[in-house]
Copies of this chain bind each other. A is one copy, B any other.
Amino acid sequence: MSFIRNILNSRTPEDGNFFLQLKEILGFKPKTKSFYIKAFTHRSMNIKDELGNAVNYERLEFVGDAMLSAVIAAYLFEKVPHGDEGYLTKMRSKVVSREHLNKLGEELNLISLVQSRIPVSNFGNNIHGNLFEALVGAIYLDKGYNVCEKFIYRSVINPHVDIETLEGKVISYKSLLIEWCQKEKNTFEFQVYEDTGNDELKHFSVKLSINNKIVSKARATSKKKAEEKASKRAFFAFQNQITGLH
């Protein structure tokens, strides 16, 4: 084993550093170590279990992929309340794209933990994402959904998922809306008035009319914010027509 380790310069489960490095990545102590050993065993090791089934990380990818999809789905459902099913599906596929998963696996340097008889330099780029998926699968099997979800928040959602970026780096819905109205020769008008209501803070209410018909209303602590909010609402109401612009 030490022969292989030397060739590949990787950490193996026999090497105490494997679980030390893993614990740092996970943020918790593994319970059933065999799941993680499997998650970092390449098929070239040609290991079989007592039933003759291959022991490597490939099947764990299937579980990890499913858990990533589930956690990201629930997250987007909450964070993107205006998006319909198709829109949410598109956003999710950006988060769990092969390219993004490869980046995640590479950042965690998961490849340094792989046991393989093929030098890691021979692997294509997808090994990073595959190992990341397998690791997520191992976490689910070891500790259940809630710990797995926490890991996905810690390693994917919190550092990497920005809803506005996913939505296509829209800076101002107001400017998008105005651009669209001008192009389509629609008239538009923002009617803003101070409206403290029952709040202590000063508030502004706005009515946005397109072709003299009120299409959205909003309320916020500044005139600018209220206009932006009303524009965003109108934007999503007219989404299909407006996105035809880009």
Q: Are B237 and A52 in contact (CB under 8 A)?
A: yes
Q: Are B63 and A77 in contact (CB under 8 A)?
A: yes
| Chain B residues within 8 Å of A160, by CB | none
C-alpha gap A52/B214 in the complex (Å): 13
| Chain B residues within 8 Å of A84, by CB | 54, 58-59
Contact of A51 among B59, B74, B81 (CB under 8 A): B81
C-alpha gap A236/B51 in the complex (Å): 11
Which A residues from 109 to 139 make CB contacts under 8 A with B?
137
| CB-based nearest B residue for A130 | B85
Does A140 belong to the interface (CB within 8 Å)?
yes
Which range contains the number of A residues in contact with the other chain? 35 or more
C-alpha gap A81/B85 in the complex (Å): 33
Q: Are A62 and B82 in contact (CB under 8 A)?
A: no
Number of identical monomers bound together in the oligomeric complex:
2
| CB-based nearest B residue for A56 | B84
Q: Are B62 and A85 in contact (CB under 8 A)?
A: yes
| Chain B residues within 8 Å of A65, by CB | 73
What's the minimum C-beta distance from A243 to chain B, rounded to whole angstroms? 18
C-alpha gap A230/B69 in the complex (Å): 37
Which A residues contact B (CB, under 8 angstroms)?
A: 49, 51-54, 58-63, 65-67, 69-70, 73-74, 77, 81-85, 88-89, 137, 140-141, 144-146, 149, 216, 233, 236-237
Question: 6 more A-B contacts (CB under 8 A) besides A59-B85, A66-B69?
Answer: A51-B81, A53-B81, A54-B84, A62-B88, A66-B70, A145-B149
Q: List 20 A-B contacts (CB under 8 A).
A: A51-B81, A51-B233, A53-B81, A54-B84, A58-B84, A59-B83, A60-B77, A62-B77, A63-B73, A63-B74, A65-B73, A66-B69, A69-B69, A69-B70, A70-B145, A77-B137, A77-B141, A144-B146, A145-B146, A145-B149
